[in-house]
Amino acid sequence: MDIRNTFIQHLLVGIFALGLTYTFNTLLNVEWSTAFARVSFILLFLTLLIGPVMKLSKPIKVSSPLEIPWTWRGELGIWFFLMGLVHFIIVWSGRPFAELIKIGGSGFALANLMGLVALLLALLLTVASFQKVILYLGIESWKWLHSMTYVVFYLISGHYMYFQFFSTYGEVGPDWFGYMAVFMTLLIILLQFTAFLKIVAKNHQNRK
């Protein structure tokens, strides 16, 4: 688990996140809102990638905290939330909220609702990522709360799939990001499942 968020790690993750957003916008001509959205998803993916990878192969010896991938989880998670928040603010600016989430509306409204629920859950998880809050909650409740990260991931997966594959947005259909994001979603499912099988196998070994 990642209990300590350091300034230097925040700085590095922040530079990576903002640099990638800038690159998407300037080099790949991706709109700002979409660029923030894509980077937010990539950060969430990295946060979730670390967990199963660590379960499958734990490093034996490390000489610095920078070598332990799980110490980056808190920073990646917080930056995922911040980038998602900026994406939402840009999408929201200049139009009434009721236009975004309209009951009896369309798939657009449902996709937005998924994004909003994910963002609110992400806010909760971000607040629960600060050392003082973690210590107040206790490790078990903190772990329970953070298992919600998977819920956030699957909500965002439904969210991007709508815009990439099921809407007229982008008229030409999915682009490179759509295919890459589907690959990332499938990889997380596969890793999660493999880590689960490993736990089952370990349980069987212990019984013998």
Of 96, 111, 145, the closest CA to residue 37 belongs to: 111
List 54, 68, 116, 137, residue binding ligand HEM (CB under 6 A):
116
If one counts every other C-beta atom within 10 angstroms of the C-beta of residue 119, the result is 19
User: Counting contacts by CB under 6 A, is residue 156 touching ligand HEM?
Assistant: yes
Q: How far is the CB of 78 from ligand HEM (least distance, A)?
A: 12
Q: How far is the CB of 104 from ligand HEM (least distance, A)?
A: 17
Amino acid at 55: K
Which residue do the tokens 């982008």 mark?
A: 170
Residue of this chain nearest to ligand HEM (CB atom): 84
Q: How far apart are CA 208 and CA 200, in angstroms?
A: 13
Q: How far is the CB of 163 from ligand HEM (least distance, A)?
A: 4
List binders of ligand HEM among 43-102 (CB under 6 A).
84, 87-88, 91, 100
- Longest CA span, the chain: 64
List 13, 48, 115, 185, residue binding ligand HEM (CB under 6 A):
115
First to last CA, the chain: 30
User: Counting contacts by CB under 6 A, is residue 129 touching ligand HEM?
Assistant: no
User: Counting contacts by CB under 6 A, is residue 164 touching ligand HEM?
Assistant: yes
Which residue do the tokens 């329970």 mark?
A: 144
Tokens matching residue 192: 């999660």
If one counts every other C-beta atom within 10 angstroms of the C-beta of residue 143, the result is 12
Q: Answer whether 84's CB lies under 8 Å from 122's CB.
A: yes
List 17, 46, 48, 118, residue binding ligand HEM (CB under 6 A):
118
Q: How far apart are CA 193 and CA 208, in angstroms?
A: 23
User: Counting contacts by CB under 6 A, is residue 5 touching ligand HEM?
Assistant: no
User: Counting contacts by CB under 6 A, is residue 145 touching ligand HEM?
Assistant: no
Nearer to ligand HEM, 61 or 96 (CB): 96
Q: How far apart are CA 103 and CA 109, in angstroms?
A: 7
Nearer to ligand HEM, 116 or 195 (CB): 116
By the criterion CB under 6 A, which residues form the site for ligand HEM?
A: 33-34, 37-38, 40-41, 84, 87-88, 91, 100, 112, 115-116, 118-119, 122, 156, 159-160, 163-164, 169, 177
